[in-house]
Amino acid sequence: MKIQERTGVGAGRAAAPAQPMVGDRLPMAPRERKPALAALAVLLILVGALGATMLVLQVGHRIEVVKVTQDIPAGESVTSNDVTSVMVAADDSINYVRWSQLGTLKTLKARTTIYKGTVVVGEMFGAKSSLPDGKALVGVALKEGQYPTGIKNGDIVAVYRVGDHASSSNSTGGATGSSANGGNLIVDKARVSSRSDNSDAAMSTGNMSLTLLVDQSDAAAVAQAASANSVAVVVVPGN
């Protein structure tokens, strides 16, 4: 009796919807093809690859050029001791002096002071010195105490005659130009073209050599005082 009741109850229920089988998938809409976007992506990849290739080739194309290792005063030529070779990226817009052209470079003159560490380009040199009209370069050797600390290329200095030669030279009219009304003053404004105190001997003694750009009218007086080791320089306003 109980079995029949249970059967009757079950028969009155609605049948549950059939569940899809695990392996079945819902249908998907077909993908829309976009050939224009695909072509653009391919083009961008090609452009990027080409740019990277050109960059690698440019970096890889290096040339050997001249770099100065000491200051080269205006009007002077380089020597084998003043230069070294370095590798740089080739650039047709820069007139580098190649290491293979060093022999020719030694025959030329610096147009202006070329400072230590400069990579040389052709425009820095000429067949002859290009000093301003009415100017001359004079070298002076100075001992410690005859120049101020920190003096550097390009400084404006006054040049004085010092020591036992000062009074005798002034009394005989040995100084010219600016010294006429300046006592021991030889030149009131000279420009430091270059300085040299890099040798071991110079650093141990405190000595320094300067190349000064002066008026031609003052060059003889400065050279005379320098030859007697009776020169001192003072940095003046105007730097």
Q: What is the pLDDT of residue 207?
A: 85
Closest CA to 160 of 108, 111, 231, 101: 231
Q: What is the pLDDT of residue 235?
A: 92
Contact 153, 115 (CB under 8 A): yes
Which fold would CATH assign to domain 62-126?
Answer: Type Iii Antifreeze Protein Isoform Hplc 12 (3.90.1210)
Q: What is the pLDDT of residue 68?
A: 94
Residues in CB range of 140: below 8 A, 6 or more apart: 159, 209, 210, 212, 222, 225, 226, 231, 233
**Domain ranges within the chain, ordered by starting residue:** 62-126, 135-235
Q: Hey, what amino acid is at 124? A: M
What are the pLDDT tens digits along the chain (239 aa)? 454 555 555 555 555 555 555 555 656 656 666 677 777 777 888 888 777 766 655 555 889 999 999 888 777 889 999 999 999 988 888 999 999 999 999 999 888 778 889 999 998 898 876 677 788 889 899 988 899 988 888 889 999 998 765 555 444 444 444 433 344 899 999 988 877 765 444 445 578 889 899 999 999 999 999 988 899 999 988 76
* 231 CB-side CA count, 13 A: 29
Rg (CA), the chain: 42
